[in-house]
């Protein structure tokens, strides 16, 4: 497992490729944004002019793109991955898509004699940069073992959850937990600020107790310092939460809090905050409470 094709050089894709190169893999990259490709070739990657070209000669092809329909278009067609991949190639989709889509991709890939893993990640841009992503995998154990050294260059924990689709549904569950936590942090800091407390001091007081979490540590400082530069934009998280609700609807499963969260995100979209980091969820609460979460010490 030496030659890797990598498609999708966004916020997450670029640092993931950097870590693959650092680990000694030969990486051929493709993206519709030429500047992103040029950044990676400057680091030692080879450039492809199509998804098909990125797959030619690859032992494993990774897709890391915004949505399921984009994954489907990358896999299929005369210039798609499957037109260039040899039989036995591992195709790993590390995008956030629905489990239904992942199962469809697995069937499509199998028809071409290749193996498929749905392997979405958690950890955001910092995890991608540090190579400490949590990678949740759906697929066959034997296929994962072949791919494990590749994943290990990008992630700290690699967990086989179950068959194809299991990785994607785990990512959706992850997104529910993360984004509802951000909403909870938002409500808590709105409460504290409205009562006259400094939100930074409140954060420092509670982070060592039961309320402490990775989400709290990552997002509370962004809120009280008014830094909404996206690591995980609301746009991407709204897409994920929409996938959650569509998946739940297909199972006739009510997800009450997640449904409310989806509407909060739509409100933020309507008010121009779609490309803010999802710590910017706090801005919805600010708009209805008449208070701004800001520390005098930030």
What does the alpha-carbon distance between residue 119 and residue 58 come to, in Å, rounded to a whole number? 18
For 289, other C-beta atoms within 10 Å of its C-beta total 14
Residue 279: DSSP 8-state: G
3-class secondary structure, 156:
strand
Choose among 30, 56, 59: nearest CA to 148: 59
What does the alpha-carbon distance between residue 27 and residue 43 come to, in Å, rounded to a whole number? 10
Sign of CA dihedral 258, 171, 103, 85: positive
What does the alpha-carbon distance between residue 220 and residue 202 come to, in Å, rounded to a whole number? 10
3-class secondary structure, 99:
helix
Choose among 114, 97, 13: nearest CA to 62: 13
Quick one: how far is CA 180 from the chain centroid? 16
171 is known as an active-site residue: yes
What does the alpha-carbon distance between residue 160 and residue 143 come to, in Å, rounded to a whole number? 10
What does the alpha-carbon distance between residue 47 and residue 39 come to, in Å, rounded to a whole number? 10
What does the alpha-carbon distance between residue 25 and residue 9 come to, in Å, rounded to a whole number? 17
Choose among 50, 31, 51: nearest CA to 41: 31
From the list 14, 52, 103, 171, the catalytic residue is 171
Q: Which residues form the catalytic set?
A: 171
């Amino acid at each position: 497992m030496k030659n890797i094709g990598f498609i999708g050089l966004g916020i997450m894709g670029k640092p993931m490729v950097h870590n693959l190169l650092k680990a000694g893999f030969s990486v051929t990259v493709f993206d519709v944004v030429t500047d992103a490709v040029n950044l990676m070739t400057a680091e030692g990657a080879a450039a492809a002019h199509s998804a098909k070209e990125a797959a030619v000669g690859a032992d494993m092809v990774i897709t890391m793109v915004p949505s399921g329909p984009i994954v489907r278009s990358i896999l299929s067609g005369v210039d798609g991955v499957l037109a260039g991949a040899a039989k036995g190639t591992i195709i790993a989709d590390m995008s956030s898509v629905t489990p239904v889509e992942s199962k469809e991709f697995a069937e499509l890939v199998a028809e071409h004699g290749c193996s498929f893993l749905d392997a979405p990640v958690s950890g955001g841009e910092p995890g991608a940069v540090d190579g400490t992503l949590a990678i949740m995998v759906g697929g066959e154990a034997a296929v994962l073992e072949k791919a494990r050294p590749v994943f290990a260059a990008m992630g700290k924990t690699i967990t086989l959850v179950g068959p194809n689709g299991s990785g994607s549904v785990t990512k959706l569950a992850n997104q529910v937990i993360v984004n509802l936590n951000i909403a909870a942090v938002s409500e808590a800091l709105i409460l504290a600020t409205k009562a006259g407390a400094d939100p930074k001091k409140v954060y420092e007081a509670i982070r060592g107790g039961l309320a402490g979490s990775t989400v709290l540590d990552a997002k509370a400082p962004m809120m009280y310092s008014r830094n909404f530069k996206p690591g995980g934009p609301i746009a991407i998280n709204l897409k994920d939460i929409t996938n959650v609700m569509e998946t739940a609807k297909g199972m006739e499963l009510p997800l009450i809090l997640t449904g409310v969260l989806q509407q909060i995100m739509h409100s933020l979209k309507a008010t121009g905050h779609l490309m803010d980091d999802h710590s910017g969820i706090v801005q919805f609460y600010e708009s209805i409470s008449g208070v701004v979460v800001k520390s005098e010490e930030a």
